[in-house]
Amino acid sequence: MIKNVYHYLYFRTYRMILRTNKTSTESSSARILSLLFFANIMSLYFLFSNTHNSIVIYSCGIFGFTISILNLRYFDHKKTESLIFDFKDIQVKVFYRYLADSYPYLSFLILLISLDLSYETIFYYFGILILIKLITLFWNA
């Protein structure tokens, strides 16, 4: 189940990137997921750590970097082709599709919240997201 969710998250990221990047969509999707995993690990550190101990932050950074590299190695060319072929014809509930599509936005939002940034910054983030969605809506129309 978890492996299928992970693969579906990659597939939806691939489909989102495919709209704009036609040349290196597979590697770009793996890179974005790797950056999101790194951001999520650092968010967990900042959420649950009151003091900024240099050893712990470096350890979390190294762990996040290692997970990111392993994620890049996991999605090789054969794996991505088989994933795209497997998920191309599968019908998934709309809720799960929106949840997978919003994963990058939610990860960045959690990173902003974990860094204890002001509410103004978070509202700016929401404003930028709304503007991006409106531009893509009118661009496709």
Per-residue pLDDT tens digits for 122-136: 899 999 989 988 887
Range of the domain at 16: 2-140
Is residue 26 exposed (0-12), middle (13-18) or buried (19+ Cβ within 10 Å)? buried
Q: What pLDDT digit, counting tens, does each position of 75-116 carry?
A: 888 888 888 888 888 888 888 888 888 899 899 999 888 888
Which of 46, 44, 41 has the alpha carbon at shortest distance from 66? 41
pLDDT at residue 2 in the model: 55
- pTM of structure: 0.81
Q: Total structural domains in the chain?
A: 1
